[in-house]
Structure 1
Amino acid sequence: MAIPAAGVRGLRVVAYVGTADDRPGTTIQNRGVAASPRGQAGGVGPGEIGNFIITGHRVSHGRPLERVPELRNGDHVLITAGRTVYDYVVSRTMTISFRKPAEKAQQNAAVPGKPGAAPRQAMLTISTCATIEDHAAGNYWHDELGNPEHRINKIGVLVATRPA
């Protein structure tokens, strides 16, 4: 994965069966790479119709997604898989609370932010912690895996593909 506006180049994304920010995904992220949950409770692969979810650390384990919260609408996220580059463009930001199951469901939905909606396009959710923002607000809550209360999700849509 490459995110030019955030200085990310060549970040490895490891696919696994699961949901965003679960124990297997956290174990992957703790290696300094990004995790991509797949399957009925997770997301789809790059270029597929639905929500391609990528999670990674912002303040620990190499901080691969440290600058993701800075992304603006129109910034590009490039995913190279096999012989294809998938070009997604950030279209919005969604912040969710880990304490609210309905908000976690929005992050994992096939259409980000709309649980139960049928997907019609290839979309991307890049998710990282809001630890800095939570701590600045005096919120030091975290779950058993160390996830802070809030996640910052950058949502994008697939705009182009090209040979790698």
Structure 2
Amino acid sequence: MTLPLNFSQETRVVRSPGHVDSAVGVDELISDNENVRHQRRRAARRQRAQRPKQGFFRTLVQIIGELLITCGIILLLFVVWELWWTNIEANTAQQAAVSQFAQEFQGPVTPPAPAAPTDFGPPKVMDAPELPSTVFGIAYVPRFGENYSRPLVEGVGQAQLDTLGLGRYDSSTMPGGVGNFAVAGHRQTHGAVLDAIHTLVPGDKIYIQTKDGYYTYVFRNNQIVMPSRGDVLLPVPTQPDAKATERFLTMTSCNPRFGAEERIIAYSILESWQPASVGPPAAIAAQVAANQKGQ
């Protein structure tokens, strides 16, 4: 059957009940989403407007509080570093220096026989090291612990005391010399080599080992002085006009233990010495042997 030329055919879409045109449905969803977003933005603006505004003083207080908390944390970390970590670093460096010196030491590590001679004449005194930070000996102080042994180093600058232990004042004599062999050491940080200096009692022995032998000093007394008291380093401590005839050991450190307002000075005098070739004093023989083994 042929349709007439003027017949306009309509194309009709038959939809089932409940069907939603896809194009119309998407437009409606987009419009709904836009409305929801606008409503949310208006609600957020109203909520911000209802919040009380902070005044300048309140903001300043908050900033200062945060700064104080930050400073407190930094200070705490500094204290931990100063009192804990510096000791770990210094102890490691000092033990390495002691082990190296002991392994290069020429001489037996067993004490002499009880019947061996004890008079070896005047002590041999080594020349002062030419370079700062040179390790020239080991100090043993049984009062500070049966395993206490610390390196003796040339110089009392920060480079020496912060790392290597007991530093010698270059104005003083060497171990065993007539006059004053004077050393300095930290008390609470960087190895705390003289932390227990206040525990010394008269009669305590302090042993010094060099390449030439062993020097035994006996502690006499201590003294608290101001940092400006340089006369404690004189050949005869605190006596500027006296001529030295004895052989002193002077140890200096900060006082009190957690401060530096004063200085604590420990004075000792040489009791005896023995050459390296005869072995160490019996009181430190075990520690001398342990140092040589690197223990």
TM over 0.5: yes
* CA distance in structure 2 between the partners assigned to 1:56 and 1:120 by the alignment: 26
Give the structure 1 partner of residue 154 of structure 2.
Answer: 15
Out of 71, 74, 78, which is 2:203 matched to?
A: 74
**What letter matches 1:161 in structure 2?**
W
SS, match of residue 120 in structure 1 = coil
Residue 47 (structure 1) aligned to one of 148, 173, 176: 176
Equivalent position of 1:29 in the other structure: 161
Q: CA deviation at 1:51?
A: 0.5
Shift of 1:92: 1.2
Q: SS state of the match for residue 193, structure 2?
A: coil
Query: Which residue of the other structure, out of 230, 248, 257, is the alignment partner of 1:123?
Result: 248
C-alpha distance in 1, partners of 2:216/2:273?
6
- Give the AA of the match of 1:27: A
Is the contact between residue 153 and residue 164 of structure 2 (CA under 8 Å) also seen in structure 1?
no
SS in structure 2 of the partner of residue 12 of structure 1 = strand
- Residues 112 and 123 (structure 1 numbering): CA distance in 2 closer, same or farther, change over 3 Å? same
Give the count of matched residue pairs.
137
Structure 1: gaps of 5 or more residues: 17-23, 141-147
Instruction: Indicate yes or no: 2:265 matched with 1:153.
Output: yes
Distance 1:33 1:13 in 2: 7
Q: Percent identity, aligned pairs only?
A: 26
Of 137, 142, 167 in structure 2, the residue corresponding to residue 4 of structure 1 is 142
Give the Å deviation of 1:116. 2.9
Report matched runs for 1:60-139 at 5 Å. 60-98=189-227, 101=228, 104-132=229-257
2-structure distance, mates of 1:14, 1:48: 17
Report deviation, 1:32: 4.2
RMSD, aligned CA: 1.6
Q: Larger C-alpha radius of gyration, 1 or 2? A: 2
Q: 1:119 is paired with a residue of what secondary structure? A: coil
Cα distance, 1:149 vs. partner? 2.1
8 Å contact from structure 2 (residues 154, 160) kept in 1:
no
* Larger relative contact order (CA 8 Å, sep ≥ 6): 1
Aligned equivalents of 2:210, 2:269: Cα separation in 1: 17
TM-score, with structure 2 as normaliser: 0.44
Residue 111 of structure 1 aligns with an amino acid whose one-letter code is V
Shift of 1:27: 2.6
CA contact (8 A) 1:32 1:57 kept: no
